[in-house]
Every structure is written in structure tokens, then in C-alpha cells.
Amino acid sequence: MAAPLPDGQPGKSASPLQRLDLDGHNLPPSPAPSSPRNGRRRYALATELVYTEGKDQYGASSTPIYQSATFKQTSASGGQQEYDYTRSGNPTRTHLERHLAKIMNANRALAVSSGMGALDVISRLLRPGDEVITGSDLYGGTHRLLTYLATNQQIVVYHVDTTDVDAVKARLSEKTTMVLLETPTNPLIKIVDVPSIARLAHEFNEKALVVVDNTMLSPMLFNPLDVGADIVYESGTKYLSGHHDIMAGVIACNDAAIGDKLYFTINSTGCGLSPNDSFLLMRGVKTLAIRMEKQQTNAQLIAEFLESHGFRVRYPGLKSHPQYDLHWATARGAGAVLSFETGDAAVSQRIVEAARLWTISVSFGCVNSLISMPCQMSHASIDAKTRKERQMPEDLIRLCVGIEDANDLIEDLSRSLVQAGAVNVTLDGFHANESAQSL
């Protein structure tokens, strides 16, 4: 009898999805893929993250670290050798870049020394007089680099509310060469409609490059290149590596000419990722799926806990997020960064400083949970006047959720809220105080 197809219908022959072990015995069917597949991937993303192609000469199971600045040449002319000098290329970095291209759904990926290094490389595609449209809520370091370009390189930078597609449209001009987007934004967790903005920008000027900073979601949850972006970059310091033990940046694109230009800058300026850090990033990437799954689950519970106690919580996993539907139209998860307000910056500071399990640190995407006040920490490079104009609440607390036990995290947060006087304890639990409720 013909073997049933996975959907239960009888097939003419064995289903192409039927799996056999090395001895030819039937294996149980694969579980449903947890993420979409495309031409570059054979397996679900969680599998592809750990599955590496390519063979080391000794069959090493993990990527060897080629800790060598230079390579022996077989002739003075260099011959056909793939590597001559690590700034130009290194086998460990190449291995990582091929792996990243696969998981980012890209034709090419390039690994550099930090997320800001990645944006610097991309920004060298700009010429004096070019116009860049970007968000009014975005990472402080991105704002700083863009301000430098505007001040010193005659690049015109427009900061608009990128959650408003019409506001972006109104700024498009013949000179728009780049639209730079973050979603969710850091730190206000606003959602940007990348497909609509990419379509508009390309309709207006087919040469305009749509660049997406995907640090907050990682390729586990979003693939901007699939919805119209030309270039995607990420701080590999965050989710991709996951342990806060390296600085790294990743750039990916599909267009070969753009890829070559980016590589030219990396080789010329020497910001390619070191062999040792390439190894560590490769190792970190393998556990991205399992880390992100746990981090998101924890983040959802913490967001619900805070919301149930009257705080205004910004997290796309909550139905109350004003762009909940938009987020889920393209993303496969809510991520693990959320922010909330208390109504009083001094109270917020007391909460942050009362935390024990949550470490007071900038950054996010690591296995351990962090707490911070963006206006004083990650976004301090945006001056107070600009922060006010952009409606960044000085009392904002950002939580970057890790993989710890959720109850421990909630308990520590509860204690910090009580200790800081942000909530009143009653017999039936914690209740947000007046200032928090009035938000």
C-alpha cells in the first residue's frame, strides 16, 4: 500500500518527506517547521542554526579558529589562494559569514567588529548631499553617528516618526538615497511597517536603499530582506552571540554589487571580525532559537505582570500595543525587550537600583536579564532637548529579559517596585500606585 502523505492522503510512492535512518528504517515525521523555509534553507531555522555545511580538512566538528594574521603563499604572485591576510579574509570569518547568510536569507553576509561598525560601513555608501530618512526613536549610538554624518559629511538626515508611513512618504525626494529603519524601535518599542515603506521608497527612487537594523528581533523573528529591505544589519553583540562576551556586527544583502562595495570598505578600513570573535559568534548563533524562545516566554510573563499592576508597558506581545497587528504581520515573535514608565524618574531610578537579579547594564539579547534607564544610559548620547522633543520619557525603564526562571525575575522586580514605592502591597497582591495608574 502507498505510504500516506503527511496530510493523510494516500500517495503514489513514499512521501518525499518520509525520513529514513542510516539503515533504511523509517523515522518519525519531522515536527512542523517553527519558521518559514526558503530556497537557501533546507530545514527549519532552529535546525539550520546548528547545522553547518562545509568541511574542515580534519573534519573538525566546531569551526576551527584560524588565529593567523597572514597566510603562506605558494608563489610571489599570490596564485589562486583564497586567503593572504586576515584583514582581507580569514577562514573562520568566511565560515561564519556563509552560515549567517543562510540564516538571514541573504546572498551575502559580512561580519564586522560591532553593530556601530556595521552602520559605519553601510554609511560609506552615502555621498555628500545625499538624504537619509530615519526614525525619531532609535538607538542613541545610531543617532550619534547620523548626527556626525550630518555635521561633517554633508549628509542630510531627516528624523521622522517612522510608524507613520505618510510622514516617511512626505520626506522622500530625488535625493533620498537611504531609508534607515529600526523595528521595534529602541527604546520606545514602536513598530515600523517595513514592507510598505520599502515599497514606497523604491517606487519613488529605485536606487534608494532601505536599510533595517534588525538587532531587536534577530533573524529568528524577522527577515527584513524578505519584505523589501536592501540591506539588513545587526549588532551581533546582542541576540546573535547571546552571552555578552564579544562585540560584533553583521551586514547582509542580496545585491552582489552592494555586497562588493561593503566588502571593499571592510577590507580598506580593517573592521572585519577577528577570528576568535568569529568563532564565538558562530558558537553563540547555534543556540539562538532556544535562547530566544525562553527569553520571549519570560518577557511575555513579565510584560503581563507589569501591565496587570497598572503600568503602561511597551511590548508587542501585549494586545494593548497600538501596533500589535502590524508587528505580527511580519514578525514571528515579540522579542525580549520591553519598556515601561512609572510617572516619576526618581521612582524609576529607585526601582532600577533596588534590583538584585536584574543587572543594571546597557545592552540586551544576553542570557541574563538587564534593567536600565535609557535616557541616562543607552540613549544619553541624545541631548536632553532632543529627547524631550522626541517624547522620550525620562522615567522610562527598559527591561532586557534573559533565560532565568520567570518567577525569580518577577519576584525580584516585585520587590524592587515595592522597595521603590512604585506599588502598594495589599493582601491580594501588588497594585500600581497613583502615579503609575494615571499614565
Ligand X SMILES: N[C@@H](CCSC[C@H](N)C(=O)O)C(=O)O
User: So which residues are the catalytic ones?
Assistant: 87, 139, 213, 238
Binding pattern to ligand PLP, positions 367-406, x when CB under 6 A? ----------------------------------------
Using CB under 6 A as the binding rule, whether residue 235 contacts ligand PLP is answered as yes
The answer to whether 52 contacts ligand PLP (rule: CB under 6 A) is no
Nearest CA among 257, 258, 259, 237 for reference residue 247: 237
Which residues touch 335 (CB under 8 Å, ≥6 apart)? 184, 216, 217, 218, 221, 292, 295, 296, 299, 316
CA-based nearest residue to 176, from 223, 137, 230: 230
- From residue 309, alpha-carbon distances to 10, 312, 313, 353, 430 in Å are 54, 9, 10, 20, 7
Q: Is residue 326 part of the contact set for ligand PLP (CB under 6 A)? A: no
Distance CA 12, CA 18 (A): 13
| Termini Cα distance of the chain | 66
HEC per residue, 91-145: HHHHHHHHHHHHHCCCCEEEEECCHHHHHHHHHCCCCCCCEEEEECCCCHHHHHH
Site string for ligand X, 35-74 (x = CB under 6 A): ----------------------------------------
Helices (H), 128-191: 140-152, 165-171
Nearest to 299 by CA among 194, 213, 216: 216
Does residue 259 bind ligand PLP (CB under 6 A)?
Answer: no
Cell numbers given for 218: 534577530
Q: Does 232 bind ligand PLP (CB under 6 A)?
A: no
Task: Tell me how far, at minimum, the Cβ of 225 lies from ligand PLP, in Å.
Answer: 17
162 is an interface residue for ligand PLP by CB under 6 A: no
| By CB under 6 A, residue 115 contacts ligand PLP | yes
Contact characters 122-151, ligand X, x per CB under 6 A: -----------------x-x----------
Q: Which does 381 bind (CB under 5 to 8 A by kind): ligand PLP, ligand X, none?
A: ligand X
Q: For residues 110 and 45, what is the distance between their CA atoms, to the nearest angstrom?
A: 19
**Using CB under 6 A, which of 67, 151, 308, 381 touches ligand X?**
381
Q: How many residues bind ligand PLP (CB under 6 A)?
A: 15
Q: Closest Cα partner for 225 from 212, 237, 216, 207?
A: 212
Which of ligand X, ligand PLP, none does 213 bind, CB closer than 5 to 8 A by kind? ligand PLP
Between residues 111 and 116, which has the closer beta carbon with respect to ligand PLP?
116
Q: Give the residue among 264, 243, 256, 241 at the shortest CA–CA distance from 100.
A: 241
- Residue 182's binding partner among ligand X, ligand PLP, none (Cβ under 5 to 8 angstroms by kind) is ligand PLP
| Out of 186, 241, 278, 416, the residue judged to bind ligand X by CB under 6 A | 186
Nearest to 157 by CA among 140, 141, 139, 175: 175
| x/- map, 116-155, ligand PLP, by CB under 6 A | x----------------------x-xx-------------
Residues engaged in binding ligand PLP (CB under 6 A): 114-116, 139, 141-142, 182, 186, 213, 215-216, 235, 237, 247, 249
Residues engaged in binding ligand X (CB under 6 A): 139, 141, 186, 362-364, 378, 381
